Structure 1
């Protein structure tokens, strides 16, 4: 049996491995010219050398190498900021660096099923002309309204992994055909999911999902290894519906203050492509 201390150790080890891989991926994307260094002789591997990055951050090469080897060393906040500056990280990447180094509190990993309370269920039900759903900590769709069902297909016929947003994006061919801009949506969603999942590094349920997606999707496997992270974004999502054709929605993610591990995602139909009218027709075609 795995005790609390063993689980905590596994979490910290998983974070160190992710931290090391993230450092390495960001170092390898930088060219010497990006940081004012000469190109010098031909390089056998992409990006900066470890000694160059260590020099820019003002740390020892051996010590920095230990970080990329996931050894049990813990940089101070000042050193993390120096590394972030040297690696030219944006705000989302800098936060990711701190999270992976456990400079934020390790979030408890609940083993109990997630539950959507009745007040939130009523919010969903009353969004009659706006597709909306609630995402859990692993991006599983926990609850949804009728407009979501008529737009994206019946969630109640799917098993838990199949109701996961990343699974639908990368594994479900029917859902993929719905998205006009599938590749850009999938890349952005993966980067947001990676940033979210950093808080749960080592969680067996996350690890199982990621392993499943790595096996099932060439794109997920390739893009996951790039370690890209971004902050949550709103934006436009264009749908190519098999009955109504092209539809356009603005999607927004709303944090729930009383359930910080959950998000409410709302799709607002736009005037473009006569989306309001088409959504109303879809709802009429599929009466509750």
Structure 2
């Protein structure tokens, strides 16, 4: 199924489950089909009817950040559904001369390099903190309770792993961080900077809206004045398999203008920390992250 067709099917399903009273509209004359009419959704989202009809026909058009957020709100999407919309917008073909909300994807050579890194947990992230690639140690460290495979160019239907969504919406991930509030502030600062760099990116706008709707903690942090995020530092992870890991991290931006970054976690220089990290890496040796 093409991405436009998948988005079209979801839009129709989301529209069909809503009644006029759900969105403050009168019932009006008898309806031949359940749910809202296309023109009603378009009006609620601030889109032209023609633009919304194109989306429901599987024809991608340019969605501004505000339009993407308004569409999610008009359809009364919950946080998970907004992230699904984000995944589809993220892969939409860009409009001519614009970024269209997508970033240059990971170069195959970098994907190979990341999986070959030994002795550190290596993750490649796009500006929205979607995981583009990681090695086995990174998956085991950050998301061992989740499906390891990442969304690829050949299989874009699966929502990407998103570290921000995991941190604010997934209780299992939250339990990994004894100092969760510090990690939360780092993540919000990173997203503030990404949105400042790409203010016209609808995917980032939908992600922020989904997190705001799904997490009171995120909403409160996002309203505060933005801070600079640290590109290196220390973090503790309380892992269910090997206990508390004292780690150092580095976040390195690539020079290819993609906006993608390499996140490295490695054990602090103490024998117990290194032994625990090596145990975790050994336990993940047979997990396929491709």
TM-score, with normalisation over the residues of structure 1? Answer: 0.59
1:118 corresponding residue in structure 2: 108
2:209 corresponding residue in structure 1: 211
Structure 1 residue 215: Cα displacement: 0.9
2:245 corresponding residue in structure 1: 247
Structure 1 residue 113: Cα displacement: 6.6
Q: Secondary structure at the match of 1:246?
A: strand
Query: Which sections of structure 2, spanning at least 5 residues, go unmatched?
Result: 1-49, 52-60, 68-96, 152-157
Structure 1 residue 251: Cα displacement: 0.5
Of 256, 259, 263, the residue aligned with 1:261 is 259
- Quote the Cα distance in structure 2 between the aligned partners of 1:248 and 1:190: 22
Structure 1 residue 122: Cα displacement: 2.4
Structure 1 residue 286: Cα displacement: 3.4
Which structure has the higher relative contact order (CA within 8 Å, separation 6+)? 2
Say if 1:141 and 1:164, in contact at 8 Å, map to a contact too. yes
Counterparts of 1:179-198 in structure 2 under 5 Å? 179-198=177-196
Say if 1:248 and 1:272, in contact at 8 Å, map to a contact too. no
Say if 1:239 and 1:247, in contact at 8 Å, map to a contact too. yes
Query: Which sections of structure 1, spanning at least 5 residues, go unmatched?
Result: 14-106
2:124 corresponding residue in structure 1: 134
Q: Secondary structure at the match of 1:167?
A: helix
Counterparts of 1:73-222 in structure 2 under 5 Å? 108-111=98-101, 114-152=104-142, 153=144, 154-156=146-148, 163-222=161-220
Structure 1 residue 229: Cα displacement: 2.7
Structure 1, residues 232-264: CA drift from partner, whole Å, max 9, x if none? 431101010111111011100111112441111
Structure 1 residue 12: Cα displacement: 11
Structure 1 residue 227: Cα displacement: 3.0
2:274 corresponding residue in structure 1: 276
Alpha carbons of 1:231 and 1:180: their partners in 2 closer, same or farther (altered >3 Å)?
A: closer
Kindly tell me the number of residue pairs found equivalent between the two proteins: 192
- Quote the Cα distance in structure 2 between the aligned partners of 1:131 and 1:118: 19
Q: Secondary structure at the match of 1:253?
A: strand
TM-score, with normalisation over the residues of structure 2? Answer: 0.59
Q: Secondary structure at the match of 2:256?
A: coil
